[in-house]
Amino acid sequence: GDKAFAQFLTDEIKEEKKIQKHKSLPKVSGGWELEVHGTEAKLVRKIAGEKITVTFNINNSIPPSAEDDTQEGQKPDEQEPELTSTPNFVVEVIKDDTKQTLVLDCHYPEDEIGHEGEEESDIFTIREVSFQPTGESDWKDTNYTLNTDSLDWALYDHLMDFLADRGVDNTFADELIELSTALEHQEYIKFLEDLKSFVKCQ
């Protein structure tokens, strides 16, 4: 059984490498530095007096619906539809002269429905906003967290503009999807390879 499993994994890895779009991770334009720790990625950008970090994790970042449609009636030579990773991401804005960090929790809506009658809808939304003490790794539940569901739309628009001014806009969100998808695929291949060596290990 294990032999067949290992063989299956070998073929699977070959296939996945064939469809791998990026051998190295795509860059995000706008001078963002990338750090990757396993499944967590962090993009950092410094602008006058501020440091902006965007953190996301590729685990559970692929919407579930993508996998259900492929099995039925698929001809053997048809490519499976491409899986896209749309992780939630957290933007932290740290100003040099304050002890506080503004934290914005953003996500990609499942269905891209904009507000009625808007020409251009945003591909990501801000879900929550809070202040956290700068440099603390554990965020406090006692800090007020603003949920955007019930937010005055003018304030929400200003928050979106505030992010856009710092390079977090639709272009960035698109490139983040590219990066996250490439990272997810890379980790998936690595997982298959680890699984293969694990299965073969006597």
Answer whether residue 80 shows pLDDT above 80: no
Answer whether residue 117 shows pLDDT above 80: no
Q: What is the DSSP letter of 150?
A: G
Residue 148 CA: distances (Å) to CA of 108, 118, 126: 14, 19, 7
Question: Minimal CA–CA distance to 41: which of 55, 52, 26?
Answer: 55
Q: Which residues touch 61 (CB under 8 Å, ≥6 apart)?
A: 85, 86, 87, 88, 180, 184
Read off the pLDDT of each residue in 25-38 and give the average, rounded to a whole number: 94
Which of 23-32, 80-89, 115-124, 188-197 is modeled with the greatest confidence? 188-197
> Predicted confidence band at 200 (pLDDT cuts at 50, 70, 90)?
confident
**What tokens were used for 98?**
């304050």
Contact in structure between 132 and 104 (CB atoms under 8 Å):
no
Please write the tens of the pLDDT for every residue from 132-191: 888 766 766 778 899 999 889 999 999 999 999 999 999 999 999 999 999 999 999 999
Contact in structure between 35 and 44 (CB atoms under 8 Å):
yes
Provide the pLDDT for residue 202.
67
d(C-alpha 139, C-alpha 153), whole Å: 27
Provide the pLDDT for residue 78.
46
Fold adopted by 25-58+87-110+124-191: Mitochondrial Matrix Protein; Chain A (3.10.280)
